[in-house]
Structure 1
């Protein structure tokens, strides 16, 4: 029987330290963490590793249910998968575990709340963007790649694969920039 912690934040500029400290204090022998959206399981390699590692009697611990996911169906599927392996899920805040029947009911309600909260966040974000557009102050998302650098490397006869390696991004991102300028090779 092992206590396995899972910590997650949505963006790279958010801090995992509080979650990690709480999970360590609860006696988690193994803690996996990642900085990725909880909207779905896509790109959540650490969560996949935890689920694969779980054995009968193990306990998966998270600080809050929304760290496990923000979609009710996805959270319930994750809990089901843990139970199929004979493992338990424990949420620290509020303290709820799947060891008892009441825990399942509470986790279902918390999962619905997490999903509703995600919808509210998206609505507020969309409203804020619309207002900023009306006021003429919307600048769009932060540019992550230097498009000029990508184009300069192309002009130096580097192919998209080489450019992706040099600037540290995927080839798809390079192709998007090059196709935007009508010059992919």
Structure 2
């Protein structure tokens, strides 16, 4: 039996193309999910597909990166398949581990995929460092300006408005007024 597995990383992506290719490859059972590929253990449908596969079956995917993000992960999954007597086919890269040539090609492409992923991570890291050096701020933008913070502190210090009135004025929670002004909240 041919067993297919399709995966996309986020909810904004669509795996219909993968499903079409798996059906065209003759897969009788297809498992699919929208889940990050970082860890095989976190992907329930992958685990279900691996448990479903029996001796003599063929496990089919469209691309290596749909199955694993690292050579260790890929090796672990394919070793499990091999141990259970399950063949492995990658349609887009024309890999078929039921042949000696397919096994060789699989190992070469798996190493290249890991190398490419490492290069992408290195480029992203360099880009983040360069942006930080230029003063780019990462993370959530502050909700309040420095002028607003000074206004809150001045209002609290003046003591004319209640803490709730100050909170209402700046459209924040009362406990935020205490926190931002450095005042102790009354019990």
- Give the TM-score normalised by structure 1: 0.69
Structure 2 partner of 1:4 = 3
Match of 1:113 in 2: 112
- Aligned pairs for 1:14-33 (under 5 A) are 14-33=13-32
Q: CA deviation at 1:105?
A: 1.3
Query: 1:106-146: per-residue Cα shift (whole Å, max 9, x none)?
Result: 111111111111111211221222233233344338xxxxx
Say if 2:53 and 2:86, in contact at 8 Å, map to a contact too: yes
Please say if residues 129 and 138 of structure 1, whose CA atoms lie closer than 8 Å, have aligned partners that are also in contact. Answer: no
What RMSD, in angstroms, separates the aligned Cα atoms of the two structures? Answer: 2.0
Q: Decide whether aligned partners of structure 1 residues 44 and 123 sit closer, same or farther in structure 2, where only a CA change above 3 A counts.
A: same
SS at 1:120's partner residue? helix
Partner of 1:88: 87
- In the alignment, the residues of structure 1 paired with residue 63 and residue 118 of structure 2 have an alpha-carbon distance, to the nearest angstrom, of 18
The equivalent of 1:131 in structure 2 is 130
Given that residues 40 and 71 in structure 1 are in contact (C-alpha distance below 8 angstroms), is that contact kept between their aligned partners in structure 2? Answer: no
Q: Could you say which structure has the larger radius of gyration? A: 2
Q: Secondary structure at the match of 2:36?
A: coil
How far does the alpha carbon of each residue in 1:10-31 deviate from its partner, in whole angstroms, 9 at most, with x for none?
2232221211111112121111
SS at match of 2:138: coil
> Following TM superposition, by how much is the alpha carbon of 1:71 offset from its aligned partner in structure 2, in angstroms?
1.1
Take 2:117 and 2:41, find their aligned partners in 1: how far apart are those partners?
Answer: 16
Report the alpha carbon displacement of residue 38 of structure 1 after superposing the two structures with TM.
Answer: 2.2
Shift of residue 101, structure 1, vs aligned partner = 1.5
Are 2:62 and 1:63 aligned? yes
Residue matched to 1:168: none
Deviations for 1:57-109, whole angstroms, at most 9, x for unmatched residues?
A: 11110101121112112212211211221110000111111111121111111
2:148 alignment partner in structure 1:
none
Please state whether the residue corresponding to 1:42 is helix, strand or coil.
helix
* TM-score (norm. length: structure 2): 0.69
CA 1:134–1:65: 2 relative to 1, 3 Å: same
